[in-house]
């Protein structure tokens, strides 16, 4: 169920225990072969598939395309909200839904740069509402909800999500082939280990001149369809867990 299609009395009459999904993504460079809107389109598709299955048992807010992408700003066209402002933007959206009485909220992310500010936004809200025991504030990036995807999808070479890579290009070939450029000409860009397990700060130009990271030339439509199925199933599974939560326990 799309929040934006309802009138306010309809929102008022909803059970406040319904799981709320707040999709957040980005408009940022995706190499020479994918459009800027890639992350928003992919998350939109995954959420739409999940929503079709979940029907009236989930409430979805409009996808927030304005993301935190300052690490991509060297590439023309990238639109990025400064990280501290972004943190407040995510917190404000969640807080709106808490103000309307909703208690079970999943911020569903489709872009790596939103991860740190998005999680911090939820931690700060939890502290703001510290006397509440009935709030479930969750953050998940869609590909983390399908951890076995590399084994489940036939023929995948990449073991994890990169950028404008085998995974993203495959999914875009599925949903918007007209927007995909010459991915077969894209040279492999190794993600590297970057001092793991430490987390190294980076801007995209540290790692890639074209803007992509990974192996886009290995993309196929069939891999894309399987990835989309796995990722939407991951979202559906998480929404079921949220719905089955007893309303106060730590575990779920």
Q: How far is the CB of 219 from Zn ion (least distance, A)?
A: 13
Q: How many CB atoms lie within 10 A of CB 18?
A: 17
Tell me how far, at minimum, the Cβ of 166 lies from Zn ion, in Å: 12
Min CB(114)–Zn ion separation in Å: 11
Please compute, for residue 47, the number of CA atoms within 13 A of its CA located in the half-sphere on the CB side.
28
Which residues between 10 and 39 bind Zn ion (CB under 5 A)? 39
Please, which residue, 27 or 91, has the CB nearer to Zn ion?
27
User: Per rule CB under 5 A, is residue 45 in the interface with Zn ion?
Assistant: no
Which residue's CB atom is positioned nearest to Zn ion? Answer: 39
Smallest distance from the beta carbon of 41 to Zn ion, in angstroms? 10
The residue (of 39 and 51) whose beta carbon lies closer to Zn ion is 39
Count residues contacting Zn ion (CB under 5 A)?
1
Sheet holding 136-141, edge to edge: 59-60, 20-24, 104-109, 136-141
Altogether, the residues listed in the chain come to a count of: 252
Angle 177-157-45 from CA coordinates, rounded to 5°: 35
**If DSSP codes are grouped into helix, strand and coil, which group holds residue 155?**
coil
Count, in order, helices (H) and strands (E) of the chain. 7, 4
- Interacting residues toward Zn ion by CB under 5 A: 39
């Amino acid at each position: 169920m799309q929040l934006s299609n309802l009138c306010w009395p309809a929102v008022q009459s909803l059970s406040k225990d319904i799981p709320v999904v707040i999709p957040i993504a980005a408009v940022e460079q995706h190499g020479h072969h994918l459009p800027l809107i890639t992350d928003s389109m992919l998350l939109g598709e995954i959420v739409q598939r999940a929503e079709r299955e979940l029907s009236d048992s989930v409430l979805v807010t409009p996808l927030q395309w304005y993301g935190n992408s300052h690490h991509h700003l060297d590439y023309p066209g990238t639109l990025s909200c400064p990280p501290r402002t972004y943190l407040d933007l995510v917190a404000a959206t969640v807080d709106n839904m808490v103000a309307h009485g909703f208690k079970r909220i999943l911020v569903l992310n489709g872009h790596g740069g939103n991860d740190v500010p998005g999680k911090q936004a939820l931690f700060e809200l939890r502290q703001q509402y510290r006397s509440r025991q009935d709030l479930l504030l969750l953050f998940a990036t869609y590909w983390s909800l399908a951890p076995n995807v590399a084994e489940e999808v036939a023929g995948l070479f990449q073991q994890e999500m990169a950028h404008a890579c085998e995974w993203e290009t495959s999914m875009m070939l599925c949903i918007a082939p007209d927007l995909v450029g010459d991915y077969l000409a894209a040279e492999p860009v190794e993600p590297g280990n970057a001092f793991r397990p430490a987390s190294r700060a980076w801007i995209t130009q540290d790692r890639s001149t074209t803007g992509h990271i990974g192996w886009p030339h290995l993309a196929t439509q069939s891999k894309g369809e399987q990835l989309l199925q796995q990722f939407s199933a991951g979202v559906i599974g998480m929404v079921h867990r949220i719905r089955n939560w007893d309303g106060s326990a730590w575990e779920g």
